Chains A and B, each alone.
Chain A
Amino acid sequence: MAHLVSVWEGTFVEDAEGGRLLGNKCTSCGHIYFPKARFCFNCFDKSMEEVVLSRLGKLYSFTIGRMASTHFQPPYAVGLVDLPEGVRVFAPLKMTEDKPFKVGMDMEVVIEELWQENDKQVIGYKFKPV
């Protein structure tokens, strides 16, 4: 039986609504990072606290891949989503039947399988149109 592994430890959490991304915030200057930064690259302060980022964001740009990438067979969608915290996230996008991607549209986080390899099921974050 396949065992679950996270695509990147500490980048997301599942909840009743689907999931959220986990970033961190510099307690000194307030800059927010995703994925988490070891320390603040902005002011070099070392005191960082975890932040649960917003579930909703806006699509900044996207593309539909027509040739395979490292783990995805075509067609697959990827994009950049701007979260209200001022963070731009690169992520796979989930294609839906009725909502074609459009710059500026509202997107939400979903947590699901990204790909399988050997006996591993790799879980991670995607965004899908709201």
Chain B
Amino acid sequence: MREVAVIGVGQSAFGKFPWRTAGDLGSEAASAALSDAGISPKDIQVAYAARSCDASCTAQGVLKEVGISGLEMVNVENACAGGSTAFRGVWKEIADGHYDVGIAVGVESMTTSPIAGKLIPPEKDDLDGHLGMTMPGMFAMVARRQMEEHGATVEDFAMVSVKNHHHGCLNPKAQYRKEFTVEEVLNSRMICDPVTLLMCCPNTDGAAAAILCSMDVARKHTTKPIRVIASTLLSAGYKYLQEDICASPVGTKAAKIAYEMAGCDPKDIDLVELHDAFANEEILRYEDLLLCKRGEGVELLRSGATKIGGRIPVNPSGGLLSLGHPLSASGVRTVCEIVLHLRDQAGERQTLNAKVGLAQMLGGIVAGLEHGVVAGIHILAR
């Protein structure tokens, strides 16, 4: 297996743009990634694109706008981990020696999708979906267990939102660049008790793209290639195996595989971008990623370690909560954020002396399986 590098990253504006097509958003990101890499569209040999809503030939539709056509293109849907899946797809193509240069794109137009402005339900024929299951509903039930078992309070959940909105203020690409107080988060509209509006990621349109290549190619373009040192993608087991809904067996398994592949420990990670679709979720993902022991996520949050400037900044981009969450774009966008920090190009939100970063995505809900049905993790190093 060959070592793979990321030599270009790009992100479109994130926000509510119902007048912009997926092609328009995706090409903004792809074009930015090509410029960042300093390569020509004709250098691209393979492409993967992820999209969840209204998807049809996404890669072809996006990439024709930037002068890329006539090559192998694969389109994927994998819930919130769609972007991670596309990134991993290109990584595998290059690691396995099929191609030397490829592009991964994640794009979503949430405001024009059938779920715009709604609570995201499972697939339309899902039993639990008919019975009232929604993403915020699931995380509200999880939140109640965190309060029962881990001593978490609604103020802790609000604090995650306050932290990530503060981070978002430092990111020119964030959808919401606004500070909030714990009281404002708690007093925002109730969505699914105890989860309030400001504890939920917003509906967002946007795209992200990354250019991956073999080390040989990377060295021709840069003296500082960012290496992909781990890539994992796993699907969940049956629901009866998830006794505690606060724990993600698939998330933990994916993390262990990733650390082993990268040859590092959780303590070696300098920053993390993860799936904070709901504020309370971020606390659990600390535990899945072994940044702390099971049940100690709340303490890690309260210690301030996960703020910018802390021991292990989590979601310095502003996370899904303030940056926004175009479902399939986020898995690529999180990798892009890690790359910027490893290159020392993250501006005001820069993690000082970042050498190793981790990008995680977890998502999807299917009756009969543990919730969070797909986990994708990438670890990158400079």
Contact = CB atoms under 8 A, between A and B. Distances in A.
A18 to B, nearest CB: 17
A19 interface: no
Given A61-B144, A78-B137, A68 B119 contact: yes
B119 A67 contact: yes
B144 A66 contact: no
B240 A86 contact: yes
A103 B133 contact: no
A120 to B, nearest CB: 13
Interface of A: 7-8, 11, 31, 33, 35, 41-42, 60-72, 76, 78-80, 86-88, 90-92, 103, 114, 124
Interface stretch (B96-104, B185-193, B267-275): B185-193
A63 B119 contact: no
Interface stretch (B122-130, B249-257, B284-292): B122-130
B131 A92 contact: yes
A103 B144 contact: yes
B196 to A, nearest CB: 9
A72 B240 CA distance: 27
Contacts of A114: 130-131
Contacts of B245: 60-61, 80
Q: Which of B128, B137, B193 has the most CB of A within 10 A?
A: B137
B121 A69 contact: yes
Given A80-B245, A88-B239, A90-B128, A69 B144 contact: no
A63 B144 contact: yes
Contacts of B142: 61
A57 to B, nearest CB: 15
A66 B132 contact: no
